[in-house]
Amino acid sequence: MYGKINEEILSQLKSIVGANNVITSPEEVCVYANDEYVCRQEGCQPEVVVRPGEVEEVSAILKLASEHRLPVTPRGGGTGLAGGCVPVYGGLVLSFQRMNKFLELDPKNQVAVVEAGLTLGEFITQVEKQGFYFPPHPGDEGAMFGGMIATNAGGSRAVKYGGIRNYVRGLEVVLADGQVIHPGGKLIKNSSGYNLVNLFIGSEGTLGVITRAIIQVMSKPIFLRTMVIPFNSIEQAIDNVPLIFDRGILPMAVEFAGLDVISLSERHLNLNWPTHSGDMHLMIIVDAGSEDDLGKMTDEIADIVLENGALDVFVADTAAKQDEVLKIRSEIYEAIKKETVDILDTSVPRSEIAGHVRKIHEVAQKYGLWLPVFGHAGDGNVHTHLMKAKYENGQMVPINVEEIKDKLEKARQELFQDAASRGGVISGEHGIGLYKKNYFPLTMEAGQIDLMKKIKQAADPLGILNPGKIF
């Protein structure tokens, strides 16, 4: 089906990017055989890793790949959780480590122009240094823009400010045959034909290779406050979320997490969470243009939750306290990753969060599993962890995964089906990639999948761009 990379092709690749940027040694290429997903997919080591430095080199590489029908897997920071950058058929990994420039900040249009390999952390530093702000924060600041756009990364702030999709104004994309196109631009309005920018966002590198992006930035919120609110049960915590929105309050973020995983993350980081009351906590971040407005908003949220089961309300009102709370919440996955078999990121309508979370609790009891759950209560993105461990006396106690393998698969299927029954999907921000493709039809109409395949065929008739993903 696919061609093999021989010495002649290696020689041509070296002439395009330089010998130092063509990697073939098994010790080095093995690093590119997996992402941050907990279960490594064996047998997916690339034949070669190529590191282009400019779009002309990417174009030349894809022309060569098209000529010899070589599978090409684009790779950013490797921080994904669905195997999206894991090569399935060996071939060539296209790493964007060298294309990492912050090219421009245009204050009049409030946009920045970046290369695909620029990390989220470096972007935030550059933007804030020039007095601007980038609302989305998908998580790992080592993630690169090309990968974040290709997966339509989300994050906790999506409830008010949206995900990556909402901030991409224009793209530079190299097509499968090496042709370079520039959909979008520094425009705000555009009704000229199909919206190709949105087509490439979330396509996971299967339709084209993103090399550059024009990103919307904004003025930084002046006042921020983080609230931590403990409840006795997950049902109480989740049921409070719509009550907050019903009052016309739109927080920057509304997160929920159990005390079990919060405590594990605390110990992992040697930091302190504001309270250890109850079993389930909401973390709410609000922002406003004045201290008075912020105070009114936090007071109103406190009144709502205290009338509806909250045990207390803790406010982190300094930058240091806010950073500590956010760090603990952000590192939960790292704290439990060792005993995690799979991380689900189902997404349901906001009104269905409570019901879906109750189903997770029922499934955990039904199969005798520990299924810690946390996520974005404000936008319906729920992260359920299938664990090869029990939680006892504040510790993770490992279980032989072979003994519960069938139960974990049944739990996964039931939770995906429950999400579908509520009008949801199996992925809200991680993408389908390699590891969720078998479950894709559970929440997606056959007609939609068929149309997606036709788009893939039209954009990549030889099937060389990130083959083996999504479908």
Measure CA of the first residue to CA of the last residue in the chain; give whole Å. Answer: 17
| pLDDT number for residue 251 | 94
Question: What's the pLDDT score for residue 42?
Answer: 52
Identify the pLDDT of residue 155. Answer: 81
Which among 211, 199, 7 is positioned nearest to 117, based on CA atoms?
Answer: 211
pLDDT of residue 130: 94
Encoding tokens for residue 90?
């060996």
The pLDDT value given to residue 41? 56
Distance CA 273, CA 202 (A): 34
Give 10-residue mean pLDDT values along the chain (471 residues). Answer: 94 98 94 80 81 98 98 95 92 97 97 98 96 87 95 86 94 98 95 97 98 95 91 91 93 93 96 95 93 95 97 91 91 92 93 90 96 91 95 93 96 97 95 93 94 98 97 92
* Residue 319: count of CB within 10 angstroms of its CB: 10
Residues 6+ apart with CB under 8 A from 13: 22, 48, 50, 61, 64, 92
Domains assigned to the chain: 7-97 (3.30.43.10), 102-219 (3.30.465.10), 223-330 (3.30.70.2190), 334-429 (3.30.70.2740)
Integer Cα distance of 432 and 439 in angstroms: 9
pLDDT at 289: 87
CA 76 to chain centre: 13
pLDDT of residue 206: 98
The reported pLDDT for the residue numbered 350 is 86
pTM score > 0.75 for this model?
A: yes
